[in-house]
Structure 1
Amino acid sequence: MYFSAKDPEQAVENMKEILVKAKMPYTNLYNLTEALQENRNVIMVISVFSYGFIVLISLITIANVFNTISTNVNLRRREFAMLKSVGMTQHGFNKMLNFECIFYGLKALLYGLPVSVGITYLIYKSVNRGVEMPFYLPVPSMVISSLSVFLVVFVSMLYSMSKIRNENILDALKSETN
């Protein structure tokens, strides 16, 4: 039997009292509202830990990309100075760096998007064993991630280039980087 009540907790208590007076077991009483609230709490805890983990991994990844691009630009100071010394304009230099950023971002997405689609499908297959549901590809999340990749790459490149932009060409050509 199912009952609907405005105050489910009070209804369960009243039913327990009635069953105790009738000397019947009350262990099979099930408060659906309480169970739903427990499920919401569990989902909230899982969400907090999941999103916390995602943020942590994202920050580590951003720091890694930032460090890699900064090191790459620093190691190429001499190359950049040579390009400037043979007449490359600042506009041409910026255009070259923008193409490099686009290349870095596209290369990362070329590897990352198929892997993420594959992992999403594997998660779907493992969950679909218990609950029938259609496959959903999280396109908005993938678009946000793709834009974030380009943002991180461009910001990292801008920061790195700002450090060497006003460097004297002769000093950069004399420097030895190994």
Structure 2
Amino acid sequence: NAGSWDGFLRKLSATDGSEIWTRQFGGAGVDAAWSLAVDPSGNAYVGGWVSDQQGCQHFGGQDGFVAAYDSDGKLRWTHQFGRSFGDQVLSIALAGQGVVVGGTGDLDGMLSGNTDAFVRELDGSGTPVWSLEVLATSADEYTNGVWADPKGNVYAVGHDQTIGNNEAFIAKLAP
């Protein structure tokens, strides 16, 4: 453990549940993994947030991240982003040759409240293809789930938090 909390990814044997490999990440601060997707080749994509990931540029507050590992546990790429407030990847799904992620944060520096709900697509190398703030009001908004269909449509679900009131949203984003 490098700090208060660390995130980890562990691959287990399908036959007996024994550990094949474990990858730990995080720095001295609080770090967490919230989401996981695995493609048919066994490559794993994990998303969450880090407070000060060692070896990566830190943008302030909590930074959202996505890390891709091959089936042997070798790190393929990492995409880390953020601004001065808390940015978090809360959901991840396979999309074509890459992944689509959803979460909360400040992608464009134009926060409407404390955090805005977003969706971002990353290609097979971890490079952003597109990003969109799905919901941006004076409340805090979160994209809690994402899914991509074979036609390239992305679906997002989430909620906003206002004092004494929470509202859900469902969105379909066409390519």
The bucket for the TM-score relative to the shorter chain is: under 0.3
- Scaled by the length of structure 2, the TM-score of the pair is 0.17
Larger Rg: 1
The structure where helix makes up a greater share of residues is 1
